[in-house]
Structure 1
Amino acid sequence: MNGGSGKADTAWNGDRWWDGFLAVAPWALLLPAAALVLSQPSASGGGHAAVAGLTALTAAWMLLGYALPGQGGRPLLAGLHFAGLLALSSALMAHDPLFVMFTVALFFRAMVLPRQLVFAGVAATAIALYTAVMGFPGTDADKPFLEHLFVYVGVIAIQTVAVGGGLALAARTAEQHRERRLTVARLEAALEENAGLHAQLLTQAREAGVLDERQRMAREIHDTLAQGLTGIVTQIQAAQRVWETPEAARPHVDRALGLARESLTEARRSVQALRPGQLAESQLPEALGELTRRWGEENGVRPDLDVTGERVALSPAIEVALFRVAQEALTNVARHAGASRVGVTLSYSGDVVLLDVRDDGRGITGHNQHGFGLRSMSQRIRGIGGTVEIESREGEGTAVSATVPAIAVEAA
């Protein structure tokens, strides 16, 4: 960005220098010429007085031109001012040829005219200049008329085309410079704005990342520690009921100990964002089989697991999400449903995979309708482009259905 600013500053300084030159050149040629003419002896005092008066009038006319607003956008006003300067310079050249130098400055002065008047201004200046230097064709008895006319017209034409074309090209280049400067300024402003937006987006992304990680950890804690602790409490309560009979209490204590160890392992895996242990060395159908087996042992109701369709090795994210949905649904059945029959169905159906967990329990009622577990299931499945539907009627059981895209491991 600094490089762009340096180029823009250079172009701006160049424009200032050229504008300054256009403003100073007429004065640098008018005043010295007038001083030289007035310093020379004159046949009559009236000649010097006329030169001084014309010089003062020309200076005042130039100052008036600087004071008039917006000449470049007013062709008539700019043309009248230039015509006045040309008339005054012609009058000065009539008094002394030294003022030819001031008339040369009008070529540069024509550059400030509107584009459609540049060639007219250059042509008028060339006619006035070469008429004063050569004389009008036919006024010099020593030169043949045709020769004088040819030289007069040729010089004026060449001068007009050369100087006028150069001034037009310079004006066009200056305009392009101004447009480039404006474009660079706009680009720099856009870059600064984009830098601000980029910083804002980074902040938002960082905050979103923190929020996502918090939600992930909340889901993992719910799906591992909370469910594991629920199972442990259930087994210890069962052991307490038969505490007087060690042989009957021991299996419950052993299962509670096993659940505690598994929960600790799963908690460590969750912190490291690893897959659940059941999916570490097997695919989803086998993991669901192990999940339903253990759940049946802990709750006394063995779920019916049914896998249909042609099995596909799904991406880890999809398998983890479906496994956690099944885990959460079964936990809810154990805690709230009081069901006597539970069914888990995994269906591979072309482009999608469907998971259904159904029970014949009491259904979802009251505060259970808006629990964290249900929200966690929906968030997980939405995160992989799927949907979750929950159907429940009081006394008629609950059905949890998750549909996700069948993205294979290779595609993932």
Structure 2
Amino acid sequence: MITVVPYVLLAAMATLTIAFKHDQPGSLAIDLALCAAAAVWNLALFTLRPAWRDRIGVMGVFLAGLIIFGLVMVLRNPWFGFYTPALYFYAYRIIGWPRELYFIAGCGVVAGTAQAADLDPGTWVGRLEYLAILVVNIAPMCLVAWIGEISTRYYGSREAALREAREANARLATALADNAALQERLVEQARASGVLDERARMAREIHDTLAQGLTGIITQLQAAEQAADDPPAWRRHHAVATALARENLTEARRSVNELRPEPLETGRLVDAITEVAARWSARHSIPAHVTVTGDSRTMRTEAEVALLRVAQEALANVAKHADTATRVGLTLSYMDRQVALDVRDDGCGFDPTATDERDDSFGLVAMRQRVAALSGTLQIESEMGGGTGISACLPAEAAEVGS
């Protein structure tokens, strides 16, 4: 349409000129030459040069030329004012804001000049009327251009906002997918970590129950074998081995069901440690004395279990390694923010730096893991011939109500 309408209007104006000026050959020839020149100008700079339409400078020259042609033609023949729609069409479409205002004003001058053909420019009244006609033509058309620019910006910003919203939704969908994948990996890692923690816990439970019990049973059976010639001693070792087997069978069942150790189910931590020490002392004929300092109080189940297991493991180590031990002391200290358990013996001692090389050092490793899991500390002090001291210290967090 933008390439056809101007030629149609020029052809119509040429036909109208021929009808009105067929009896004025000279003037008709000039008007037809102006129409032809305008058509050639339009053809050369616009119709045949699509690539030039994006060049603002070239289009400015093109439209300025058409306006000059239009002004000359309306000065000669007012009916050429019907050609101004083509000029407005170009001004609105090819120049761009705000330059288009200048060209729209030029088109308004062409249209106003055509409409003011009957006025007398020699008088002030005629000049004022001409000026008013120009204002009436220019102002509304510029206002239309301004409204069009506002609308274009509004719809452009709206489209940009919609595009940004679509892009944001796409990024959000990608982020949600990434988060879902990350959550799945975290869940898998947590599951694997839980499996490893459970394996470590079961290993500690087995060591603290079955392994210690089996060690005690083997020790008693070996002692019974050596006392084969002493029936009372043999029966005593046999009875102790039988009792150990029953106790550890019960404890194994409780560990599998993740219950509290039997001594803790029926009493406080102090009573549980005292009972464990008394049983151990009766089996091994080594005095084990329990001392409590501070005001005893109930702790979290995990903390009480950990301290009881430390006591059991320490006593088991005394029975296995402290061949010359004559006494064992267990001290349970309740402080403001911590609870500590110290187990000391006067046995032969050992080199703590060499424990990692022993096959039976898992007990010490299990103790460290239990205590570290509860944000506590475990210290081992020993020297060859100087006895051994094990100290476990845990935060003194009170048990939850109803636990």
SS in structure 2 of the partner of residue 364 of structure 1? coil
Aligned equivalent of 1:22: none
Question: Could you tell me which residue of structure 1 aligns to residue 27 of structure 2?
Answer: none
Equivalent position to 1:346, from 310, 320, 332: 332
Relative to structure 1, the CA distance from residue 139 to residue 312 in structure 2 (aligned partners, 3 Å threshold; closer, same or farther) is farther
| 1:209-241 residue CA offsets vs partner (Å, 9 max, x unmatched) | 111111111111111111010011011111112
AA matched with 1:217: M
> Which of 373, 386, 393 is the equivalent residue of 2:363?
373
1:361 aligns with 2:347: yes
2:288 counterpart of 1:303 = yes
Aligned mate of 2:183, from 183, 195, 198: 198
1:304–1:342: 8 Å Cα contact kept in structure 2? yes
C-alpha spacing 1:342/1:151, structure 2 compared with 1 (3 Å)? same
Aligned-residue Cα RMSD (Å) equals: 3.2
Q: Percent identity?
A: 37
In structure 2, the partner of 1:30 is 2
Q: Is the 8 A contact 1:358 1:399 kept in 2?
A: yes
CA gap of 1:320–1:235, structure 2 versus 1, over 3 A, is: same
Kept in 2: contact 1:384–1:404 (CA 8 A): yes
Check 1:167–1:90 CA distance in 2 against 1; reply closer, same or farther (3 A cut).
farther
Of 376, 386, 402, the match for 1:396: 386
Tell me how far 1:323 sits from its aligned partner: 1.0
Computing the radius of gyration from Cα coordinates, the structure with the larger value is 2
SS of the equivalent of 2:303 reads helix
**Counterpart contact for 1:279–1:287, Cα < 8 Å:** yes
User: Are 1:83 and 2:60 matched, yes or no?
Assistant: yes
Of the structure 1 ranges 144-153 and 316-325, higher mean CA displacement relative to structure 2 is found in 144-153
The verdict on how the C-alpha distance between 1:349 and 1:300 changes in structure 2, with shifts beyond 3 A counting, is same
Distance 1:240 1:158, change over 3 A: same
Counterpart Cα distance in 2 of 1:233 and 1:404: 33
Contact 1:126 1:159 survives alignment (8 Å): no
| One-letter code aligned to 1:346 | L
Deviation at 1:106, TM superposition (A): 5.7
Residue 264 in 1 paired to residue 229 in 2? no
Question: How many pairs align?
Answer: 366
CA deviation string 1:276-305 (max 9, x = no partner) = 111122221111011101111111112110
Shift of 1:396: 0.8
Cα distance in 1 for partners of 2:195, 2:301 equals 22
Name 1:141's counterpart in structure 2: 119
Structure 1 distance, partners of 2:326, 2:306, is 26
* 8 Å contact kept, 2:67–2:87: no
Comparing 353-362 and 101-110, the one that deviates more: 101-110
CA distance in 2, matches of 1:85, 1:257: 116
| 1:364/1:393 contact within 8 Å kept | yes
2:253 and 2:349 map into 1 onto residues whose CA distance is: 33
Structure 1 residue 100, shift from structure 2 partner: 2.9
Q: Which amino acid aligns with 1:353?
A: V
Q: Secondary structure at the match of 1:31?
A: coil
Q: Is the 8 A contact 1:33 1:98 kept in 2?
A: no
1:166 counterpart (142, 151, 166)? 151
Q: Which runs of 5+ in 1 are unaligned?
A: 1-28, 67-77
Q: Is the 1:54–1:88 Cα contact (8 Å) retained in structure 2?
A: no
CA distance in 1, matches of 2:63, 2:385: 107
Give runs of ≥4 in structure 1 deviating > 6 Å.
91-96, 136-140
- Structure 2: where are the runs of 5+ without partners? 19-31, 74-79, 121-125
3-state SS of the aligned residue for 2:220?
Answer: helix
User: Residues 206, 105 of structure 1: CA spacing in aligned structure 2 closer, same or farther, 3 A cutoff?
Assistant: farther
Amino acid of the structure 1 residue aligned with 2:340: L
